[in-house]
C-alpha cells in the first residue's frame, strides 16, 4: 500500500526521515515530470536533466509548501517555470549566437550552459572574465570532457548553489561520491584552465 502524499510531505516538513520521504516523492512523480518535458519536444537526455533540476527545486522549496494537497499543482508549476526558463535560456543563446557567431565557433547544437549561466560572486568564476570566444570555448570544452555524472555535480553546485546533500539526494548518489566528483573536477579544470582563469572554485 502506497504511503499517502500528505503523510510524506508532512513528515518531510517536520524533518522526519526527510531523505526517504523525498525519495518516495522522486520515485512517484519522476516519470510524470520527465514526460512533461518530452511532450514539450526535449530529447530524453535533456528531459532527464530538466527533471533533475525540477526535483532539486522541489527539495529546496518543499518546506515552504503550505498544504500537502497543493503538492501536485505546485510540482508542475515548478516544472513549467523550469520549462520557461529553459526556453528563455535557449532564446538568449540563439540571440547571442547571431551577434557573435558563437555557434560557428563551438559547433551547432552544442550546449553553452555553463558559460552563459555561470553566476558572479564568491566561490565562482566572475562572469566578467568570460568575455572572449577563446575563454568560452575553453571552458565549455573542459566541462564537456568531464564524465557525465561529475559534470552534473558541478552544474548543480555552480549554477544552482546546491549543497552536497541536495546534489546527492537528487542524483541518488552518496555525499562522499558528490565530494569526490567535485574534488576531481576542481583539480581537472584547474589544470586545464590555468592559462585562462586565475582560479576555479566551487
Span 75-111, pLDDT tens digits = 989 999 898 888 888 777 665 554 443 333 333 334 4
Is residue 194's pLDDT more than 90?
A: no
Query: In this structure, is residue 105 part of a structural domain?
Result: no
Domain boundary pick from 100, 133, 151: 100
Distance, in Å, from the CA atom of 34 to the CA atom of 46, rounded to the nearest integer, reads: 9
Whether residue 199 sits in one domain with residue 122: yes
Is residue 192's pLDDT more than 70?
A: yes
CATH of the domain at 20: 1.10.1740.10
Domain range enclosing 197: 113-202
Distance, in Å, from the CA atom of 99 to the CA atom of 101, rounded to the nearest integer, reads: 6
Span 153-191, pLDDT tens digits = 888 887 777 888 889 888 889 999 999 999 998 888 887
Query: In this structure, is residue 54 part of a structural domain?
Result: yes
Residue 57: predicted pLDDT: 92
Query: In this structure, is residue 137 part of a structural domain?
Result: yes
Residue 97: predicted pLDDT: 52
Amino acid at each position: 500500500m502506497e504511503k499517502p502524499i500528505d503523510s510524506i510531505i508532512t513528515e518531510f516538513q517536520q524533518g522526519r526521515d526527510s531523505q526517504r520521504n523525498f525519495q518516495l516523492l522522486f520515485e512517484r512523480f519522476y516519470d510524470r515530470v520527465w514526460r512533461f518535458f518530452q511532450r514539450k519536444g526535449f530529447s530524453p537526455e535533456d528531459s532527464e536533466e530538466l527533471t533533475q533540476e525540477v526535483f532539486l527545486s522541489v527539495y529546496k522549496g518543499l518546506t515552504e509548501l503550505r498544504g500537502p494537497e497543493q503538492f501536485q499543482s505546485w510540482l508542475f508549476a515548478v516544472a513549467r517555470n523550469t520549462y520557461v526558463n529553459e526556453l528563455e535560456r535557449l532564446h538568449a543563446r540563439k540571440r547571442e549566437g547571431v551577434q557573435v557567431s558563437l555557434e560557428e565557433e563551438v559547433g551547432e547544437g552544442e550546449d553553452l550552459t555553463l558559460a552563459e549561466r555561470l553566476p558572479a560572486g564568491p566561490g565562482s568564476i566572475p562572469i566578467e572574465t568570460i568575455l572572449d570566444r577563446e575563454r568560452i570555448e575553453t571552458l565549455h570544452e573542459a566541462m564537456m570532457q568531464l564524465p557525465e555524472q561529475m559534470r552534473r555535480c558541478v552544474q548543480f553546485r555552480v549554477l544552482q548553489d546546491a549543497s552536497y546533500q541536495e546534489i546527492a539526494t537528487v542524483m541518488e548518489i552518496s555525499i562522499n561520491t558528490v565530494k569526490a566528483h567535485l574534488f576531481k573536477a576542481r583539480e581537472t579544470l584547474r589544470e586545464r584552465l590555468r592559462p585562462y582563469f586565475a582560479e576555479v572554485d566551487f
